Amino acid sequence: MSDPKDTINIENVVASTGIGQELDLQSVAMDLEGADYDPEQFPGLVYRTQEPKSAALIFRSGKIVCTGAKSTDDVHESLHIVFGKLRELSIPVDDDPEITVQNIVTSADLGENLNLNAMLREARHHRGQRARRRPGGRRRDRLAAGRARAVDGLIPAAVAPMGLTLPLQSAPEGPLAVAGTFASFALFLSITAHIAARNVLGDVPVRNAFVVGPVPAAVSVLVATFAADAPAVIFAGLLVAIVLDGVAIRALYDESTRLAAYITLIHFVVSVILGAIVFGLWALSLSAPG
């Protein structure tokens, strides 16, 4: 087996800087060729460089975040290209604005499979032991735990039976955590069930959806709680949830099996799409500037 150190690659370098003044992004977008600005989708203007390849996120405050570079040299070069483009638009930029590298993402091949859930549980156990041994460092421990939770949240613990990736740090622990997780998924899947039913049947009572949603949500929570690291059980849970979802839809909307199956399919697709959007926005919030 090759040495994992030989497989290390830099995948992304993220850096931030600023020009010390507010910008009219609409005006900049009109004058800067290749700029992409859609404030309804993202609050910043996106300008991509090709050599080196990167994306600069320019915000109204004058703050700039550069991402996608493959080295620290590339990120500096990319930002200096952006500074030059802004100067061409008569926007004053210092000769050498301070650039701070915020994050470097690397990858490597360890050559073996890992049980991520077991590793996370072990990491929490050790964090708890350190916190008990160092009561005077409570503030530092809270900050470290907060950062760990943010990273943990990006590692899916289980696949929800409606096709969603649960943004859980691990299986929900304790009755309150389980109840909160169930309530959240029941609400989300009820909303998507109503969207699916209205799309197929037109005007339908919203109360029906709030009976349908808890059915797959209950299976989701059971799988995440008791079988978060068992892929076969997760897949079986997906099938069970879809079948029970279809049964509930057929009974509550009093439709044929064929039409109920179609609504169930729409429910699955809508849940996946909206779930991906929600998870994407949540992940973006973790790395938002400021």
Q: pLDDT, tens digit, for every residue of 13-69?
A: 999 999 989 999 999 999 999 999 998 888 899 999 999 999 999 999 999 999 999
CATH superfamily of 4-107: TATA-Binding Protein (3.30.310.10)
Q: Where are the domains of the chain?
A: 4-107, 116-152, 159-286
pTM of the complete model beyond 0.75: no
Two tokens at 186? 């029941």
pLDDT at 169: 38
Write out pLDDT tens, residues 74-117. 999 999 999 999 999 999 999 889 999 998 988 888 878 877 77
Q: Is the pLDDT of residue 167 over 70?
A: no
The residue to which tokens 């650039």 are assigned: 99
Q: Over the range 238-256, which residues count as b (16 or more CB within 10 Å of their CB) and which as e?
A: bebbbebbbebbbebbebe
Where do the H-state alpha helices sit in the chain?
25-31, 72-88, 116-133, 138-152, 175-201, 206-212, 214-226, 231-253, 257-286
